[in-house]
Structure 1
Amino acid sequence: MFTQRGERCWTYEEPLRFFGLEIGRIMSVMKLSSGGLFVQSPAELTPELKAQLDQLGEVRFVAATSKLHGHMYMEQYRAAYPNAELLAAPGLAARRTDLRFDHLLGDAPDPRWGTDIDQVAVAGHRWLTEIAFFHRPSRTVILGDMGYHIGDSSPLKTRLIARAFQIYKRISPPLEVRATIVNEETFRRSIQDILAWDFDRVIPGHGEIIDSDGKTAVANGYDWLV
């Protein structure tokens, strides 16, 4: 079920339908130097998935990427791992009042995971601020809705729509997200901060993972901005 993506980094992919389109979603798991696990965009915690997670280590942190992306199953992780901390992206605590969050994510990583993982708040959009992560040991950048990457493995209907929204074989947000950026300079600085990281792999929120030359892919996907 898990696929290893370099040193101490794994992904788990599951289907997701959005407005009738199969776009999939990707969960990332990183093992910290301390031995604990940092889970980004948690998937449904089935018994099989939990068993594999427990083999990797102790779940310590569970993070959503934004108030829209990666929070659907956080309550399952709270129940299964009572000592784990739930990390809220900007705006998520107001949306998920049923959950108690232990930490609000921003531009700077907490020292407890900062040795292994850096982060940037991608800001400047009208209603969405997203947290991008950089896992240093595996040289991997992890995105959410700011990083669609629909490829040939997607169904034909998804590929056709992705072409129209300029996210087919490109790491980029859909056109409607681009059209609702209200502070282009702030948004540009966020992407430039990501491009300053020394990464090779990119794990998008939806679509296909890029295992090599990911920095070039992000630069090309955001050529309309940077």
Structure 2
Amino acid sequence: MTALQAFGPNLWIADGPVVTAGGGFHYPTRMAVVRLTEGSLFIWSPVALSDALRREVDALGPVRYLIAPNTLHDRFLGEWQATYPAARIHAAPGLRQRRPDLDIAVDLGEEPPSDWAADIDQTPMHGNLITTEVLFFHRPSATLLVTDLIQHFAPTWFTGWRAWVAKMDLMTAPEPQVPRKFRVAFVDRAAARRGLERILEWPVERVVMAHADPVHADGRAFIRRAFGWLA
């Protein structure tokens, strides 16, 4: 795990532990912390909460919003909610039904709530059978936050048959890509295109992804390449 790293104005990222998903695939984890204009914190895709990470987060401001950007990134929400009981969970569509144990306050929708609309825009990518992921754009840093829809791993990250599956899924392609399983799962491509069109309206310069190295420049061009198959 790493300490919080400044990524832009009022934006920090931190890498958490590697976790095991279905099929025994190992994934690194990454979260982002946004300090909103009014001073409270927006925690995107929270990772495991260590004592060191908690101290650093507490030094930035009060935690008010815990964000589950899709139905696959919910593993550590319970421990964050227990630690910060005043924080409200805002979750992607479908997570409320899958995790009745969590106290989910709000289902993420088409528009940002007034709580963070001054700093962050958002849009769901509808039409996917795996999950409806909500993407966020932090205006002060011109940064797009992407969870699972774009991924990239070193060719040696996976071994054995998992390495073959990852290659076929485009997870180990030369640059970050939308994995093939997500492409196939977009059964309503018109809905997906509407989400992409909105994303491309944002002046994206940088991109933070949960499962790929961050992009530091020409973010909008990067997004166009990653989603070129959807055009």
User: Taking structure 2 as the reference length, what is the TM-score of the superposition?
Assistant: 0.90
| Superposition map of 1:25-174 within 5 A | 25-69=29-73, 71-151=74-154, 155=157, 157=159, 161-167=165-171, 168-174=173-179
Q: Which runs of 5+ in 2 are unaligned?
A: none
Give the total of aligned pairs.
224
Aligned pair 1:187/2:192, yes or no?
Answer: yes
Structure 2: which amino acid aligns with 1:10?
W
**Residue 209 of structure 1, aligned match among 202, 211, 214:** 214
Structure 1: which amino acid aligns with 2:8?
G
Higher relative contact order (CA closer than 8 Å, sequence separation 6+): 1
CA separation in 2, counterparts of 1:155 and 1:134?
A: 29
* 1:211–1:160 distance in 2 versus 1, CA, 3 Å: farther
- Encode CA deviations 1:146-168: one digit per residue, 9 max, x unaligned: 1213357x626487654432243
Residue pair 2:176, 2:212 contacting (<8 A) in 1 also: no
Deviation of 1:110 (Å) = 0.4
Instruction: Tell me the secondary structure at the aligned position of residue 116 of structure 2.
Output: helix
Deviation of 1:176 (Å) = 1.3
Instruction: Tell me the secondary structure at the aligned position of residue 13 of structure 1.
Output: strand
Structure 1: which amino acid aligns with 2:60?
L
User: Taking structure 1 as the reference length, what is the TM-score of the superposition?
Assistant: 0.92
Q: Which runs of 5+ in 1 are unaligned?
A: none
Residue pair 1:13, 1:25 contacting (<8 A) in 2 also: yes
Residue pair 1:171, 1:204 contacting (<8 A) in 2 also: no
Deviation of 1:23 (Å) = 3.0
Deviation of 1:202 (Å) = 0.6
* 1:138–1:61 distance in 2 versus 1, CA, 3 Å: same
